[in-house]
Each structure stands twice: as structure tokens, then as C-alpha cells.
Amino acid sequence: MRFKPSHWLAVLLVTASCAAQAGPMGFKDSWMAMGDFGPNWREAWVNYAVTPRDAVGVGALYMRSDDKTRRRDVAELTYTRLLQRWNSKDSQANVWFLAGAGSVEGNDFSGARTLLSPGIQLDYETTRFYVAATARLYRASGLNHDYGSVRAGFSFYEVDYEETQPWLIVEARRMNDLSDKTEITPMLRLINKGYFVEAGINNSRQFRFNFMHIF
């Protein structure tokens, strides 16, 4: 028997991406782990949904300049807040507040500096279409590595609840100061219940791998 689209949508909206990504937190009392890995950007974090709208966690981030001469290592505490949600029969839209506070180290300055990383994410999705935009500030004394991304994608076909659904996702993102170009990456995404994986090659011919798991 085929799972009802409205039920599948509810599962899909919980398991959609982030960070980092749609839905940067799971349902109340759930844990979410997520990673984004490439040569110049590597991020991993885990959070816990203390309410249906609030999650707290920890994260680590590595950033590197295009010429490979400068790097940043960030460790932070994170907070996620669902500011607004609009539901319809076959779609959902969200506004998220993202925040981080921690320290950053680099190979071109000594010691650690306090870093703050507030941001916002907007997303809209159905069982077949997905679009999201994220803006995040990464600020410390003498540092500005603000980050922005847009994502869009579609599923190839609908599936039963127990089956894996393939998606094509294209992301464009940019990182201030460490990069002077926009990274564009088409990725194949596979979603199944409480997890997804993504893999692709960006316009600099670099491999990228992402994952998310809710438990």
C-alpha cells in the first residue's frame, strides 16, 4: 500500500537538510547529527531538540582559503530556533534563527579569538521540490568570514515510506575573505526516513559529501 503524500511529506520535512541545510533540528526530544565535508569547508555538529521549536548543541568548523594558505578552526555552542512555520496540505515553509558562540584559531594569527555566528535560514518544500537560502555571519576580532548559500532541488519520483528517494540538489555558496569565487555544487541526495546523504563535485572539481541523521 502506498504511503499517503501528506504522511510522506511530514517525514520528508523532518529529515530534510541544513548547516548546515532545511530543518536544522528534529522533533522534540530528538538528536540530530550533521556533517558537510569538502577540501575548503568541513563542518560537523550535533544538537538536541529541547522543545518543538528550540535546539541546543555543539559544532566544529574548518575553513580554508582557496589558495590553501590560510585556515580557520572553530569550536562553538549552537542554538537553533524555529521562528515561523507555514503548513499547507502538500507543502511547508519555515524561517529559522541560527546562532553560535565559541572560539576560532588560525594559522595567520596567534591564540584563540571569540567568535559569534548568528544567521537566518528560509526554506520551502514539497514532496517533489525544495528551495532554501541561508545567511550566516562568522565574526571575531579582525575577522569577517560571512557565509551565504542558496539551494534548490527536485526529487526524481515519489516512493513508498520504506524506500529510498533520490533527489538532485544544486547549491551555490560563498565565503567572505577566504574565497573570491562562488562555489556551485550539483549533488545527488538519497533520503530514507531519518537520514540523508549527499555527494557531488563542485565547479572547482572538488568532491563534497554531506550527511544528516535524526535519532
pTM of the model: 0.86
- CA dist., res. 107 & res. 112, Å (int): 11
pLDDT digits (tens, 9 = 90+) for 90-114: 899 999 999 999 999 999 999 999 9
Compute CA distances 75 → 78, 103, 197, 208, whole Å. 10, 6, 24, 21
Instruction: Look at residue 52 and give its three-state secondary structure.
Output: coil
Q: Among 18-27, 68-77, 117-126, 177-186, whose mean pLDDT is lowest? A: 18-27
Q: For the domain with range 5-214, which CATH number is right: 1.10.357.10, 3.40.50.1100, 2.40.160.40, 3.30.9.10?
A: 2.40.160.40
The three cell numbers of residue 77 are 555552542
The three cell numbers of residue 125 are 518544500
Q: How many CB atoms lie within 10 A of CB 83?
A: 12
pLDDT digits (tens, 9 = 90+) for 36-92: 999 999 999 999 999 999 999 999 999 999 999 999 999 999 999 999 999 998 899
